[in-house]
Amino acid sequence: MPHEAFISIPGTGVRSLMVRVKSCNPLFSLPGDLVIAQSPRCNGYNLQAANGYPSKLPFATWQQWGVTWITQSCLFMEASCNGQKLCVKMAINLEKEPFYDDPDACRKPMNRFAFKALKKESTFYDEHLRSLQGTLVPKHYGLWVCRSSWGGAVMLSVFEWAGMPAYLLMKQPRMDTVEERLSCLRALSDLHNHHIQHDQLIADYDLRHILWDAETKSARLIDFFCASADHNCERSFPPPYATRGRLCCCEEVGYAADSLDLFVILNAQLDQGDAKPGVSCNGQDTTASLGETAPNRYLLASG
């Protein structure tokens, strides 16, 4: 498996050498030795397109990430390598700086957070997501470091491209269907089948970190630095349908269904008699009496 590759980013004027982190043991190799990236974007920065997707940042702006401005999210870039479409997450300006008033502060706090988040997510991919890559989660091509003239010490995590944020589809009626929303929920339920809980799906009342690929018609989940691998989902939302009076007691799947407006949709189908039974994450029947303890918001239908 190659340990070195080059990356080209608009505005830098160079092809920078990246070296794969030895402790990272990706299942997949980069399809080539040159990653050609588009200009970086950043969630949380106040430059967004009309549809809510982060706009490409000018070189003079993104180069100052971690210096004059910072976000909890890393920079990310659409990219390609030997014809394979990729997504590259990047944290820059990670080198130690001389804080004369506080010599122990070797990195700015958010820089350190991004650095640790990329490492933690890479480890989680290696240890818990190997069998799910390419299906429920994107393929991971490893964690890389780079000493650059444009961003100092840089860390990059390279993934297979997996589509656009699913929550954006909900803002584009011509692209949004019930089946696509159900596919997103099924992907999360399948993740729970493997005892993985994401723990970072809801932000600002939107569903985050679920992507929809319009070409492959598939949903995949991303960003696992907060995830856990010991989730015992006793009962979950039964995709694709549920019968009247059945409960959804898995908090994460319940919130996701609520954010996708699937409770409203399914209640309408229940009223029309079109609903079908389902099973829970652990394969058990989801039948439950309304008297069982569960948050009211997870009732698929009343009475």
Burial (0-12, 13-18, 19+ Cβ within 10 Å), 217: exposed
CA neighbor of 236 nearest in space, from 217, 211, 262: 262
| Bridge partner list, 156 | 90, 144
pTM of the prediction? 0.81
pLDDT, residue 249, reads 59
Give dist(CA 267, CA 298) in Å, integer: 12
Looking at per-residue confidence, does 92 or 208 come out higher? 92
Q: Give the chain's mean pLDDT.
A: 78
Looking at per-residue confidence, does 125 or 109 come out higher? 125
Neighbours of 300 (CB within 10 A): 23
Domain boundaries along the sequence of the chain: 4-160, 164-298
Tokens 């080059």, located at residue = 6
Residues 216-263: tens digit of each pLDDT? 889 999 999 999 999 887 654 444 444 333 445 578 888 888 888 777
Tokens 């997996």, located at residue = 162
CATH 3.30.200.20 fits 4-160, yes or no: yes
Residues 110-137: tens digit of each pLDDT? 677 888 899 999 999 999 999 999 999 9
Amino acid at 167: Y
